[in-house]
Every structure is written in C-alpha cells, then in structure tokens.
A and B are shown apart, each in its own frame.
Chain A
Amino acid sequence: MFSEREILSVVEMLKNENLDVRTVTLGLNLLDCASDDIGRFTDNIYTRITGAAKNLVKICDEVGDKYGIPVVNKRISVSPIAVAAAPFNAQQMLSVAETLNEAAGAAHVDFIGGFSALVEKGIARGDRALIEALPEALTGTQRVCASVNVASTRAGINIDAVLLMGKTIKEAARLTADRDGLACAKLCVFANIPQDIPFMAGAYLGVGEADAVINVGVSGPGVVKKAIDRATVSNPDLNLGQISEIIKHTAYKVTRIGELIGRDVAQRLGIKFGVVDLSLAPTPNVGDSVGEIFQSLGLASIGVPGSTVALALLNDAVKKGGAFASSKVGGLSGAFIPVSEDLNISQAAAQGHLSIEKLEAMTCVCSVGLDMVAIPGDTSGETLAAIIADEMAIGVINKKTTATRLIPVPGKKAGDHAFFGGLLGESIIMPVNNATGENRFLRRGGLIPSPIHSLVN
C-alpha cells in the first residue's frame, strides 16, 4: 500500500514531464560471423542481426504498453566492424555497411551502431579500410552509425588518426552537401569510448562483452527541470546543496524505471541485461531539454559564466542518484549537451550566449563532448582535427570519455542555419577560430604519449 503522496508524485512525473525510456539497445557480438569471403560474411551478419532482433521492437512496445512508459527508440549495436570485418578493403566495407543498413531496416530499428574502429594506439588494416569507407558508407545508408576511438588515457592520443578523421569528416560533409553534411551527424570521434553505450551515434558492442546484451538509456531532462522548478517555487531560498539533493532523488526515480523496463525487455527476449546509461539526453522538443535546466537553476542561458559549475553540479547529482538506483551502470552516464538536438541549447548558440570554446570547457565536467556542433563549411581538415585533438586531450588527461560530432556544413558560414531533421534537430552554425587556417603543430602527427597518473594537478 502506498501513501497518497507517493502515488500522486509518480503520476505527475509520468503524465506531465516527458518521462520515457530513451532507448533500449540490443548489443550483438558479430565476431563469430568471421569469414574472409565478403559474401559469406555479410550473409552471416544479416542472419545474426535479423534473427536476434526479430522481436526487439515488438517486445519493447509490449513492455512500454504494460507500464504506460514508452520506449522511444529501439536500436542495435554490434561489434566494431573494423575488427569483425578486418580482412576486407574499403570497397568491401561499403557492402558491410549496406548489409547493416538492410538488417536494421528488417528489424524496424532506426539506427544500428558499430561501424567502428579502435585506433587509439595504431591503425590496423581493417581500421584503415573502414575509415576510408566512412564518408561513402554514411552517405549511402540511413541507419548506420559510426564511431572511431582515437585516444585513451592508457594509450595517449593518436594524432595520425585524428588528422585522418579531420579529412574523413570533411569528405563525409562534402558527399552530403545537399543535406547540410548529414553524414557527419552519424559519426563520433572518441577518447576512452565505453564498450556498452546504448545511445547513438556512439553505440557499439565492445569486444569484452558477451554474445548479446540489452543496454538501456534513460533520459528525463524534463523531469529534472520540473523537479527543480517545483522545489524552487515552494522554497525560493533553496541553496545549491539542497538543489543537488533534489536532482539526485529525481535521477534515482528515473533510473529505477529504466532498470525495471530494461530488465523486463531483456527477460522477454531471453537476453542478458547489460547496463543502464544514466544520461540526460535531450530532444529538440520544449520541455525535454538539458539547456532549460540551466535556466531553472537560475542562469540566464546555458553558456553564460556559471554554466560549467552548474553542469558539474547537475552531472554529479545525476550520477549519484542513478548509481544507487541501478544494479549495473555504464555507457556514458551524465548530461548530454548536443547543440542541434536540444532546442534551448541551439537557441543559446543563436543568441550568442554559447560559444564553441565554452562548450569545450563544459565538456570537462559532463559526459560527452562537442556534440552535434555545426561549424562553417570552409573549416579546414586540419582545424577540424585540431578541435578533435583538443577535445581528446580533455578526455585523456581527465580519465573520462569525450567525443566530438562536428558537422562542417558545406557552403554555409557562421550565423547561417543548418537543418538535420528529426531527433538530430537544427542549429545555427557556430563560428570557429582560425577556421580556414593551417595547423603545423598537428600536422607533425605521431602519438601523444599517455599521461602520467601521479602528480595530480
């Protein structure tokens, strides 16, 4: 038996605050599909994916109906293709991407992640073939998402790979110039990529994982914002310690629901439950925004002085509440600040409150990085690589995940508008310092060594 207050607070959360399970992602190991015959390999992975994911969408919808909480996205992540398809050349990698795209379509999922390579210490043959294939693969498919890990705290930063990614992103943008460089929105460059991310575009299934797992991404920026609003209305003098507690309690509730639903889906599919990713993931809808939380906290806008510390408070409280609520936590776990995917954040950029430099500072204390940032189309490959390298340094030195998802929008300049559509949203193009210039520092290439772990300052 529950008290009236307990019941009413839950009902309020479900009804008016956009609470949902953002994604249930089926992770599939493809390593035993190995073959050096491209036809056999693509047949194997198609059969594996469509077989395992046959009931994924149906079961997620059934469980969503049972609890009255929708599972918004159903997705698939696979073993890094650069490893699973290591014998193949770039041309053959394209047919792997097409097969992934078809398999995802047959399973009725909107995205499949794992067209990925791990090159933080060196680039193997399969990695090079995959990266070479990326621009065309992401242009020719709708559902395939790609990621490349170019740095880690243990390996350092592979600047050769970073430079290669700068060129690759430019080419991907060029090939999708008619869609504002949309291919780049499906490509993340990582430092310290986790093996169990359920969120796109970075989702892939690490080589240390089992045959199949269900990973769940919870969300709920709207729930956190409303909780802060309610608390500050009833007590305008709340201090930041008290607000942190409110966010923590709210994150706990959101995560409990994610875990409940994820476990039910996993049980019905007969697949091991992996992790809950405790992320605040916004969508381009009012009331479902991470940016709005900054205003509820009392800042004029995300991006003004105070934003980094506010994000630090938010991110930490979300982790604390979520970690206690779930038996297994993983993935990115923190607040996302994707510019085009969050209406409020993209407005902050348009109004001049948020610069790319402030975004970079904020990524030191949140879960991802420079995410869905539209930049001028004439940004040089070297400058792109330099932005990526800066972001990787933050991850490597601070022993955390960072990533970039940069879109140099062809033919457009700072202040113009880029439109990606759907969950990817839209955004003003943010100015980049020294966009077209050269970068002789980065051009030297090589591996920046892994950092020392003592003398912590």
Chain B
Amino acid sequence: MKKMIISVLGKDRPGIIAAVTHILFEQDCNIENVSQTILQNEFSGIFIVGIPKTLSEDELHRHLDAGLSPMGLHVYEKQLSEADETQTAVESEPFVVVTKGPDRKGLVASITAIMAAHRVNVTNLQALFKGGDDPNANIMIYEVDIPSDANQQTLRRDLRETALALSLDISIQHKLIFEAINRV
C-alpha cells in the first residue's frame, strides 16, 4: 500500500469530511490520520491515507476533484516517500511562546524568523489579530519544540529583543507548566 497526503481547502459547510471520506472509502483507501481546522469561515483538512497499489495518483485526484469541486473545494495530493516517515526526531524540549501587542504587518514573520534561525520547530500556532492597539486583541500562541542543543539564552534574548522592537509583550514558558496546571 502506498501512502498519500491529501489537503482539502474551501469555504466551510456541513458535509465536507463526509464527502471526502466517502470518496476515499469507495476507492478502498485507508485513513491513518486526519486533522481539520476552521479559520473564520474557511475549512482546511489534511488526510494521510493508504491507497491500494492498483489506484494511481491521477485516478485518485480525478475521483476527489469530481466529488469535491462542485462543493467549491480545492484538493491537492502528494505521495509520501519513505524518507518522510523515517526522518529521525531531534531531541527537544516543548515550550509555549505567547505574544501580545499592537497589530502590525510582519509580526508572525519576525518571530518565526528568530525561531527558524535557532532551529525551533513550531508544532502549533494560534494567532488572532483583531487589529488595533489593544494588546489583548492581538495574540500569538506558538507551541514549539526547542532543540536540546540550542542555545536557550541567545534564543530567549533574540526573541525578547525582537518582541521589544515590535512593542510586543512576550512570554516563553516550558509546556510542562501548562500541562501541570491545566491537565489533571
């Protein structure tokens, strides 16, 4: 069985997951992972599926597109190579980075540039900008993995300096704190 990753994008409405999975079922595909999210009114879903050897990528695309484009949905597929699966995980510590501050363009780009330079991987990002200067209306929450061999002090310093330049209030906390407090 080959593995494919399928992404579906479009205006949210009831029945999207049902439509996608119905097509996959008809084509004898096996779903391994699904994640979906809705931002404002837009739906985005990612599916990792095993597909039978007899089914080509083109055929799968035709079936999905035929079923989903009438619903106004865009679909994209890519075959997963074995290298993708065997990629070794870097030893890291999980942290949560939170910023609050006045809205402006380039906030996410500035913060993530520092993270990328320190090989910090963003595992989850929630960002909400309602605009304006109210700090509580403009919040970014990054869940990140910081490599164990990264220089934490420089990373923290760089993040704080960047945040200061953007008038952002930044907090960098170990994820275990949030787990200890919020999970029984």
Chain B interface (Cβ < 8 Å from any Cβ of A): 93, 96, 98, 124, 126, 128, 139, 141, 143, 171-174, 176-178, 180-182
Q: What distance in Å separates the Cβ of A226 from its nearest Cβ neighbour in chain B?
A: 15
Are the C-beta atoms of B177 and A7 separated by less than 8 Å? no
Interface 1/0s, chain A 47-82, versus B by CB < 8 A?
000000000000000000011110000000000000
- Besides A1-B124, A6-B181, 20 more A-B contacts (Cβ < 8 Å) are A1-B143, A2-B96, A2-B178, A2-B182, A4-B126, A4-B128, A4-B139, A4-B141, A6-B182, A7-B141, A7-B178, A10-B182, A14-B177, A15-B171, A67-B174, A68-B173, A68-B174, A68-B177, A256-B180, A256-B181
- Give 24 A-B contacts (CB < 8 Å), ordered by A residue: A1-B124, A2-B96, A4-B139, A4-B141, A6-B181, A7-B96, A7-B141, A8-B139, A10-B177, A10-B178, A10-B181, A13-B181, A14-B177, A66-B93, A67-B173, A67-B177, A68-B172, A68-B174, A253-B181, A256-B181, A257-B180, A260-B176, A260-B177, A260-B180
Q: What distance in Å separates the Cβ of A331 from its nearest Cβ neighbour in chain B?
A: 20
Q: Which residue of A lies closest to B124 (CB)?
A: A1
Residues of the A chain whose Cβ atoms lie less than 8 Å from the Cβ of B180: 256-257, 259-260
Q: What distance in Å separates the Cβ of A88 from its nearest Cβ neighbour in chain B?
A: 45
- Contacts A2-B178, A253-B181, A259-B180 known; A10 to B173 CB distance under 8 Å? yes
CA–CA, A66 to B93, complex, Å? Answer: 10
- Checking A8, A66, A67, A253 against B98 with a beta-carbon cut-off of 8 angstroms, the contacting residue is A8
Q: Which residue of A lies closest to B184 (CB)?
A: A324
Q: What distance in Å separates the Cβ of B127 from its nearest Cβ neighbour in chain A?
A: 10
Are the C-beta atoms of A7 and B98 separated by less than 8 Å? yes
Instruction: Determine the main DSSP class of A at the interface with B.
Output: helix
CA–CA, A363 to B177, complex, Å? Answer: 33
Q: For residues 393 through 438 of chain A, which have their beta carbon under 8 Å from a beta carbon of chain B?
A: none
Residues of the A chain whose Cβ atoms lie less than 8 Å from the Cβ of B96: 2, 7
Q: What distance in Å separates the Cβ of A352 from its nearest Cβ neighbour in chain B?
A: 40
- Contacts A4-B141, A7-B96, A14-B171 known; A67 to B176 CB distance under 8 Å? yes
Residues of the A chain whose Cβ atoms lie less than 8 Å from the Cβ of B182: 2, 6, 10
Q: Is A309 an interface residue (CB 8 A)?
A: no
Q: Using C-beta atoms within 8 Å of the partner chain, give the interface range for chain A.
A: 20 to 34
Residues of the B chain whose Cβ atoms lie less than 8 Å from the Cβ of A1: 124, 143
CA–CA, A66 to B153, complex, Å? Answer: 11
Are the C-beta atoms of A14 and B173 separated by less than 8 Å? yes
Q: Which residue of A lies closest to B173 (CB)?
A: A68
The interface centre, meaning the residue of B98, B124, B176, B177 with most chain A CB atoms within 10 A of its CB, is B177
Q: What distance in Å separates the Cβ of A220 from its nearest Cβ neighbour in chain B?
A: 12
Residues of the A chain whose Cβ atoms lie less than 8 Å from the Cβ of B176: 67, 260
Residues of the B chain whose Cβ atoms lie less than 8 Å from the Cβ of A2: 96, 143, 178, 182
CA–CA, A4 to B124, complex, Å? Answer: 12
CA–CA, A4 to B141, complex, Å? Answer: 8
Residues of the B chain whose Cβ atoms lie less than 8 Å from the Cβ of A15: 171
CA–CA, A247 to B128, complex, Å? Answer: 31
Residues of the A chain whose Cβ atoms lie less than 8 Å from the Cβ of B128: 4
CA–CA, A11 to B182, complex, Å? Answer: 12
CA–CA, A336 to B124, complex, Å? Answer: 41
Q: What distance in Å separates the Cβ of A11 from its nearest Cβ neighbour in chain B?
A: 5
Q: What distance in Å separates the Cβ of A326 from its nearest Cβ neighbour in chain B?
A: 11
CA–CA, A253 to B172, complex, Å? Answer: 18
- Contacts A4-B126, A8-B98, A11-B171 known; A257 to B177 CB distance under 8 Å? yes
CA–CA, A257 to B181, complex, Å? Answer: 7
Q: Which residue of A lies closest to B143 (CB)?
A: A1
CA–CA, A68 to B126, complex, Å? Answer: 22
CA–CA, A11 to B140, complex, Å? Answer: 13
CA–CA, A7 to B94, complex, Å? Answer: 14
* List of 4 A-B pairs having minimum Cβ-Cβ separation, nearest first: A256-B180, A260-B180, A6-B182, A253-B181
- Contacts A4-B139, A4-B141 known; A11 to B181 CB distance under 8 Å? no
Residues of the A chain whose Cβ atoms lie less than 8 Å from the Cβ of B172: 68
Residues of the B chain whose Cβ atoms lie less than 8 Å from the Cβ of A253: 181
Are the C-beta atoms of B124 and A11 separated by less than 8 Å? no
CA–CA, A231 to B38, complex, Å? Answer: 32
CA–CA, A8 to B143, complex, Å? Answer: 13
CA–CA, A7 to B141, complex, Å? Answer: 8
Q: Which residue of B lies closest to A69 (CB)?
A: B177
Residues of the A chain whose Cβ atoms lie less than 8 Å from the Cβ of B177: 10, 14, 67-69, 257, 260
